[in-house]
Structure 1
Amino acid sequence: MIDLGAVWASMDTDATGAGKGEVQRRLRGTPFDLFLTQERPSRRAGFFARFDERPGTLWRELRSSQGLDIRVDARPGVPATLQLTEVDDRFHSIFEALVTDLLKGLEILDKQPVDRRAPALDFLAGRVIRWQTCLKANSDGMSGEKRAGLFGEPSAAAGLLEAGVDAKVCMDRWTGPAEAIQDFQFDALTIEVKASRQTQPTTVRISSERQLDTSGLDRLLLVHVALDERSDGTGQTLPAKVAELRDAVGRQSDAGLLLDDRLIQYGYLDMHAPRYEDRSYAIRAVEHFDVREPMARIVEADLPVGVGDVTYGLALSACEDFRLDEAEVAALLEGLRP
């Protein structure tokens, strides 16, 4: 990977554009027209991309935000361009991390068949928008509860991969980071994952009356990942779990690109990884429950008119009759294989 900091630093002594204007350095080794830039006289770092292909429409949703100026030119008949410029050097490390992520994504995008991939400008637009959303909600990183939740969902994804589910399909159907009702949505099976750091007895938090509602679903599986949270270095950190899943799906693959998108949607940025190294998790147990009648739960049909947005605790001790053993889970997941 290119040392972006070194490239920007090399522009400091460049006499070109000593007055007002911009210094550019073309990035080699890529089929796209990509440049690192530096404004003069402000010395603000920037990233410039130019594409001959016709863009879609997602770029229209781009907006400048705190610390980031965005300019797009997508007029018909001329190459489409995207200019990103930092507007506050206090956020330079974030800007550098963003550009690094964009370059990584373009590298993977280039390996996809041209007729199946998104236009490059729209791909970058989607990536930038997800970063902006993530930073707005998690500027200082994720809370302890969100970290544990994220540890649980990749743990469930790892189980799906081990069962033979295609990596790209698995990442595509991981809908939890996009705040869908359930975490994994396959055609014949829907999966809701709950991670807990409690000791017995265990109660999991159900976030809506629709989360365990099987209306319109072929089958709904509730997966509980019981975690021991530790600060003594034993167990596995969240960044280590993320790295493990990236290796499992293939870092330079379509599935790897989808995984990175899901992580950003959830609120995980690699630049925050050092903040998550102080806590480790050990998986104490993984439990599976077949959600069906007459399991204890609140569903939409039970509520009177005018009542909604219900959250409640579900004691897993009340779900013993719906517990699935390993053989039953394996048979269920076998249907997801290609």
Structure 2
Amino acid sequence: MIPNDTPWSGLEAGKVDTRRVSASARWNWFWAVMPRADVALVLQLADLPKPAPELPKLRNLEIRFQTLPGGPILYIRLKDNAQLELFETLCRDVMAAGELADTEAEALERAIGRTFRWHYLLRGGKLEVLSEEAQKGLIGEIEVLKLLISTLGAKPALTAWTGPSGAPKDFELKADCIEVKARRGASQPFVKITNEFQLADVPDRRLWLAVLAVDKVQPPHGRTLTEYVSEVTELLEQTEPSAIMDWDLHLADAGFDIVHDYSAWRWIVSAPDFHAVTEDFPRIAAPVPLGLSAVSYALALSACTPFRTDWGAVQEKLNEADQT
């Protein structure tokens, strides 16, 4: 039974019944009730995208393309009507994102991207803007990602970017791992290692520690987090548009949303300093003594100096591994 105070009230169950969301909407959005009385949001399309983009997979939602007599559609169907209120919020948010688009293809991309954002939220994410520390960390990882894109290409670099998903290392490549630490340039010369796995050895892989200074500055200096993100988006649009969806998914996992206002924070970032984390590198690494876990500590950068190297040396190793 569909409650009367929802956009789906009055639609007939037992068949596909639809109602246009708004006559003034730029794109063809419909509230729909599916044959099993499941509610849905439908975006009617002129053409199916080729190739079909990856669609998010959520436990209580079905998200699919389908070709009907009236043409192709994208639909988002709720499997559990107990989540109706949350689903309506999701639908309105997806539509709001799509309505910002100038073309149908962009509207579809924005709608899917926003659904990926909900994929992140429904796994325990948050709706508010990222904290200053989280902004610094994301900017640091983006700077290293840009280096990897220039060396390996966008798709391999994005595949290697595992930090947003909560993996122990920020980047995991075929024969190398990179852990990234962002710090204030004027702070004490330490970086915080947040657990014993961040600098732990990975079998058959080299490990690098990249350290960047990310400092908050006053306007008009520096750039916002949104501007750092937009730089990579524009790069991908020009060089490898098929990687944009993967980029958006990583940003969603990191908690970034393009609609959030980050204008209150502006940042400048240094080029990363790289260090080879070898056997003698100063660290507390897994396995730690039985009964200990979540070991965090301050690592003095002065103690890392003997292990310092440059991006060129790291890049050479990455290229060697990529050719084998």
What TM-score does the superposition give when structure 1 sets the normalisation length?
0.69
**Correspondence 1:259 to 2:258:** no
Task: Give the deviation of 1:47 after TM superposition.
Answer: 2.4
Structure 1, residues 244-300: CA drift from partner, whole Å, max 9, x if none? Answer: 11122237722111111000000001111x2x1121111234210000121110011
For 1:279 and 1:58, the matched residues in 2 are separated by 31
* Structure 2 counterpart of 1:47: 41
1:23 aligns with 2:30: no
RMSD: 4.2
The residue correspondences of 1:319-334 to structure 2 (distance < 5 A) are 319-334=304-319
Say if 1:278 and 1:215 are closer, same or farther in 2 by CA, change over 3 A: same
* Whole-angstrom distance in 1 between the partners of 2:197 and 2:174: 18
Find the counterpart in structure 2 of residue 82 from structure 1.
76
Question: What is the identity, as a one-letter code, of the residue corresponding to 1:96?
Answer: M
Equivalence map 1:221-260=2 (5 Å): 221-250=208-237, 253-260=241-248
Change over 3 Å in CA distance of 1:127–1:269 after alignment to 2:
closer
Q: Is the 8 A contact 1:98 1:131 kept in 2?
A: no
Alignment pair present for 1:142 and 2:140: no
Check 1:62–1:50 CA distance in 2 against 1; reply closer, same or farther (3 A cut).
farther
Taking the aligned partners of 1:288 and 1:155, their CA distance within structure 2 comes to: 13
Indicate the residue corresponding to 1:269 in structure 2.
257
The 3 A distance-change label for structure 1 pair 209 and 126 is: same
Name 2:273's counterpart in structure 1. Answer: 287
Aligned counterpart in structure 2 of residue 313 of structure 1, from 291, 298, 306: 298
Structure 1 unaligned blocks of 5 or more: 1-16, 27-33, 64-69, 109-119
- 2:144 is aligned to 156
SS at match of 1:244: helix
Please say if residues 191 and 300 of structure 2, whose CA atoms lie closer than 8 Å, have aligned partners that are also in contact. Answer: yes
* 1:21-43 alpha-carbon deviations (Å, 9 max, x no partner): 341379xxxxxxx9512489xxx
Q: Number of residue pairs matched?
A: 280
> Structure 1 residues 186, 107: CA separation in 2 closer, same or farther (over 3 Å shift)?
same
**CA contact under 8 A between 1:233 and 1:279: conserved in structure 2?**
no
Query: Against the structure 1 CA distance between its residues 37 and 87, is the aligned structure 2 distance closer, same or farther, given a 3 Å change threshold?
Result: farther
Aligned residue among 177, 186, 198 for 2:164: 177
Letter in 1 for 2:267: Y
Which 10-residue stretch deviates more, 97-106 or 209-218? Answer: 97-106
Shift of 1:325: 2.9
SS in 2 for 1:220: strand
Equivalent residue number for residue 153 of structure 2: 166
1:298 aligns with 2:284: yes
- Contact residue 140 and residue 181 of structure 2 kept, 8 A: yes
Are the counterparts in 1 of residues 191 and 301 from structure 2 also a CA contact under 8 Å?
yes
3-state secondary structure, aligned to 2:152:
coil
Report the equivalent of 1:209.
Answer: 196
CA distance in 2, matches of 1:146, 1:222: 18
Are 1:201 and 1:317, in contact at CA under 8 Å, matched by a contact in 2?
A: no
Pick from 122, 126, 149 the counterpart of residue 132 of structure 1.
Answer: 122
Secondary structure of the 1:37 match is strand
1:96 aligns with 2:95: yes
Identical amino acids, percent of aligned pairs: 25
What is the aligned partner in structure 1 of residue 4 from structure 2? none
Cα deviation for residue 62 of structure 1 reads 2.9
User: Among residues 178, 181, 186, which one is paired with 2:173 in the alignment?
Assistant: 186
1:333/1:46 Cα in 2 relative to 1: closer, same or farther (>3 Å)?
same
| Contact 2:55-2:64 at 8 Å conserved across structures | no
Q: Could you list the runs of 5+ residues in structure 2 that have no partner in the other structure? A: 1-6, 12-17, 34-38, 49-53, 66-72
